Amino acid sequence: MKALQITGYGEIAKNVDIREVGNPEINDNQVLIEVHAASINPIDYKIIEGAMKNIQKLSFPAPIGFDVAGKVIDKGDKVNDFNLEDEVYARVPTGAAGTFAEMIAVDHKAVCQKPTAMTFVEAASIPLVGLTTVQVFQKADLKSGDKVLIHAGSGGVGSFAIQYAKSLGAYVYTTTSTKNVDWVKDLGADQVIDYKKENYLSFINEVDIVYDTLGGEYTKDAFRILKKGGKVISIAGDPDNETAKDLGINGLIRFLLKLKRFKIDQLANEKKALYKFVMMHAGGSQLNDIKDLIENKNIRAVIDKEFPFSEAVSALEYVQKGHAKGKVVLNMK
């Protein structure tokens, strides 16, 4: 089969190409999925750049891609919850990347029937951003009426998170640039701050939760607008110590992270606030909850661009620019 392979760390165009590889073999607990669509996430280009080396070092050539929607074409002897021809979607478990390929073997526990009304392209756009957001708002214990700031409402994560937070009854602030303000409002955000024209810190205060999708200074600034006892949950900042341990990050790097996080930990203490980094994980049953939400709460997929598999490099470069409006998906058919 054809599969996109990472051949080294560095520039995308020089370090990935589509190659002929052997078909995947399934074990007793896996399903074999014929990939119809696979969405791109920033983690994909970050892995190519080498930014994830501390967490998982690759041996090359390495497969790439975490999100998938497609059809079950084979299954292991112990798989009873799927049948051949089932239309499914999944975020494959960390360490089992490889959805930018014609087929992928995935543990059945990470797989779920795809939302019925969605196309494969739409369904492939959901798993990673959907699971991340559900896990972030679980960690934040978001309740109806909470005031939440979701940074980058026009991104892959933000465009799902706005809809999800609204479905839970939150009051949603979000940031984006001028060209995106109107359509982000249409997703349900209560207040959209145009970061090209306005400083969000002047418009927002006393929020219960900041969903930090940007990292850097945004993580520190979150504490300026957070109410006492609030929560800053980051997916783009520095891991807190507990999460760093869970991720298997070694003691020396954890110590360096602690030094780097000094200001954040101090700000969190001053506000009696929670600072937590979430590294999302795969899960078929949580994807099933998301499927229900999509079908009953009108959460929709937000697709910026579709690329054919042959243009995977351009698709990755497009996402790397950091200005996608929703999700970018490889259409494999």
Ligand X SMILES: NC(=O)c1ccc[n+]([C@@H]2O[C@H](COP(=O)([O-])OP(=O)(O)OC[C@H]3O[C@@H](n4cnc5c(N)ncnc54)[C@H](OP(=O)(O)O)[C@@H]3O)[C@@H](O)[C@H]2O)c1
- Under rule CB under 6 A, residue 125 binds ligand X: no
Do residues 163 and 153 touch, judged by C-beta distance below 8 A?
no
Residues 159-178, interacting with ligand X (CB under 6 A): 175-177
Provide the minimum distance between the beta carbon of 152 and ligand X in the complex, in angstroms, as a whole number.
Answer: 3
Minimum gap (Å) between residue 26 Cβ and ligand X: 27
* Residues 47 and 6 sit within 8 Å (Cβ to Cβ): yes
Tokens standing for 123? 């369904």
Q: Binding to ligand X (CB under 6 A): which residues in 219-238?
A: 235-236
**Can you read off the two tokens belonging to residue 8?**
């080294």
Q: Which of 15, 163, 213, 286 binds ligand X (CB under 6 A)?
A: 213
Helices 127-139 + 284-296 axis angle, to 10: 100
Q: Give residues 273-312 in contact with ligand X (rule: CB under 6 A).
A: 278-280
Q: Which of 2, 185, 258, 323: binder of ligand X (CB under 6 A)?
A: 323
Q: Which of residues 47-106 bind ligand X (CB under 6 A)?
A: none
Among 65, 98, 155, 283, binds ligand X (CB under 6 A): 155
The strand pairing partners of 303, in sequence order, are 327
Residue selected from 157, 189, 257, 329 as contacting ligand X according to rule CB under 6 A? 157
Task: Determine contact, residues 271/228, Cβ cutoff 8 Å.
Answer: yes
Q: What is the DSSP letter of 101?
A: B
**H-state helical runs in the chain:** 12-15, 42-49, 120-124, 127-139, 156-167, 181-186, 217-222, 241-246, 251-260, 262-270, 284-296, 312-320
Quick check: 31 and 85 in contact, CB under 8 A?
no
Judged by CB under 6 A, the stretch of 67-75, 128-136, 164-172, 290-298 that binds ligand X is 128-136
Min. distance of Cβ 235 from ligand X in angstroms?
4
Per DSSP, the three-state class of 279 is: coil
Cα(74)–Cα(92) distance, integer angstroms: 16
Span of 78-86, 102-110, 150-158, 262-270 interacting with ligand X by CB under 6 A: 150-158
Task: Give min distance, CB of 159 to ligand X, in A.
Answer: 8
Q: Least CB distance from residue 151 to ligand X, whole Å?
A: 6
Residue number with CB closer to ligand X (40 or 103): 40
Annotate 57-81 with DSSP letters as a single string: ---SSEE---EEEEEEEEE-TT--S
Which residue of this chain has its Cβ atom nearest to ligand X in the complex? 155
Q: Going residue by residue from 16 to 45, which x/- string records binding to ligand X, judged by CB under 6 A?
A: -------------------------xxx--
Positions touching ligand X (CB under 6 A) are 41-43, 128-129, 132, 151-152, 154-158, 175-177, 180, 195, 213-214, 235-236, 278-280, 319, 322-325
